[in-house]
Amino acid sequence: MRQTERVAANLNRALARLLDEDPSVHLLGEDVVDPYGGAFKVTRGLSTRHPGRVLGTPISEGAIAGVGGGLALAGETAIVEMMFSDFVTLAFDQIVNFASKSVTMYGRRVPMRLVVRCPTGGNRQYGPTHSQSLQKHFVGVPGLGLYELSPFHDSHALLHRILASGQPALLFEDKALYAQRTHRDGVVDDLFGFELVGAGDPVARVFVDASEDPDCVVIAPGGVCGRALEAARDLLLEDEIACQVLVPSRLHPFDVEPLLAHLARVRLVCIAEESTAGGTWGAGVAHDLHRRLWGRLRAPVQLLHSADSVIPAAGHLERSVLLQPAGIRLAIKEALHGV
C-alpha cells in the first residue's frame, strides 16, 4: 500500500494553493511566518512565497479575528490561525458578535470569507489550557459554519467549500491528526476501505464490507475517527461485532439526511467526540437522528465523549479524561450485549 502525504502537509499544500489562486487571500496569525512557520509547521514556506499576504500578528486573538473579519467585510478573504483553539475564547466576541452577524445585519447578504483555524484537542500532554475541544461552544450561532479536519477529506476541497459558502467558519484541526497519513483512493489499511457519500459536504463512510449491514455505526469527526477505527478493528477481530464509521467534515449545520440510508438497519448508532460532557455537538445530532429514525431504531443513540473535567497534563490522567478507543469499544459491547 503506497504511502500518502501527512495531514499537515496536505493542509499546507491547500493553503499554498489558495494563496496562489486568489490574490485576495490573506493568512494571519502568531508566528505563522518563516522560519518558524507556525507552532505545528502548517504554514511553513507560505510567507516566503507570499510575503505581503502571510503576516505575523501580535499576541491578541481578538485582534487577529477582528482584522480577519474586517478584511472579509471589505471583500477580501482571510484565513486566521489561533495558535491553540483554547485561545479562541478570547476572540469569541469578534466571531459571534461581529463576523457571523455581518453576513445578514446590513440589510442585504454580505459574503464573509473568513476561516478561523483552530488547532484543537488533547492526547499531547499540553494540560488544561492547551488541550480542549471547544466545538460545542459555537454550535448554533446563526451565520457561523463549523468544520473539522479529517484524513479522509482533501484540505483544498474543504477550504474551497467553506469559502464558497460566503459564511465565516471555524475549522477545528485536531493536533494529533497533523502527523497522521491522509487516506486516498478508497483505502484505509489492510482491513478498512472507504467512500465519500452525499453531495456538498460529503461524509466519509469507512467499512470492511460496503455491501453488508453492520451491527453498529459510529459517527466520529476527524479528531476522533482514528480512535473509532481502532475500536472498530478490535470489535471485529476480538468480539465479532461489525462496525462502520462515518466521518463528517461539516459539523454545523449538520445534515443527517444523506446518512439515513446507512443507519436505518443497524442495531446501534453511536456518536463519538472529544468534547467534554454536557451540551455537545453530538447531543444535537442524536436528537435529530431520534426524530428521523423513531420507530426504526433498535436502541437509543449512544453519546460517547470525554469526562466532565479539565484535561490534566500527566499522560495517564489525560487518558482517563479523554475519550479513548477502549472506551468506545466497551460502550458498544455494553450497548449490544450488556457486557
**262: number of Cβ within 10 Å:** 19
User: What's the pLDDT at 1?
Assistant: 53
pLDDT tens track for 190-245: 999 999 998 889 999 999 998 889 999 999 999 999 999 999 999 999 999 999 99
Tally Cβ neighbours within 10 Å of residue 106: 10
How many CA atoms within 13 Å lie on the side-chain side of 35? 0
Q: What is the pLDDT of residue 3?
A: 80
d(CA 220, CA 303): 11
Tell me the sheet residues that pair with 268.
216
Q: How far apart are CA 319 and CA 316, in angstroms?
A: 5
- pLDDT of the residue at 261: 86
Mean confidence (pLDDT) of the chain: 95
Candidates 3.40.50.800, 3.40.50.920, 3.40.250.10, 3.20.20.150; CATH matching 193-337: 3.40.50.920
The arrangement of strands across the sheet holding 203-207 comes to 193-197, 203-207, 243-247, 216-219, 268-276, 302-306
Nearest one of 10, 1, 2, 38 to 179, comparing CA atoms:
10
What percent of the chain is modeled with pLDDT above 90?
A: 89
297: pLDDT confidence band, cut at 50, 70 and 90? confident
| 62 Cβ neighbours under 8 A, 6+ residues apart | 90, 91, 93, 94
- H/E element, 271: strand 268-276
Please state, as a whole number, how many other Cβ atoms lie within 10 Å of the Cβ of residue 250. Answer: 23
Structure pTM?
Answer: 0.96
pLDDT at 309 over 60: yes
Q: Strands 114-120 and 77-81: what pairing?
A: parallel
Domains 7-177 and 193-337 share a fold: yes
For position 2, what pLDDT does the model report? Answer: 65
Cell matching residue 126: 499540553
Of 311, 308, 282, 286, nearest in space to 297 by CA: 286
Percent of the chain with pLDDT over 70: 99
Spatial distance between the Cα atoms of 58 and 72, rounded to a whole number of angstroms: 19
- Please compute the mean of the pLDDT values over residues 264-276 and round it to a whole number: 94
Q: Which of 81, 69, 70 is nearest to 32 (CA)?
A: 81
Superfamily, domain 7-177: Thiamin diphosphate (ThDP)-binding fold, Pyr/PP domains (3.40.50.970)
The grid coordinates listed for 48 are 516566503
**Could you tell me the residue ranges of all domains in the chain?**
7-177, 193-337
Please compute, for residue 200, the number of CA atoms within 13 A of its CA located in the half-sphere on the CB side: 9
Q: Is the confidence at residue 271, as pLDDT, over 90?
A: yes
Q: Is the per-residue pLDDT at 258 higher than 90?
A: no
φ/ψ of residue 206, rounded to 5: -105, 130
| Alpha helix ranges (H) inside the chain | 7-21, 46-49, 61-73, 92-93, 100-102, 155-164, 222-239, 260-263, 281-293, 315-321, 325-337
CA angle at residue 174 from 111 to 51, to 5 degrees? 55
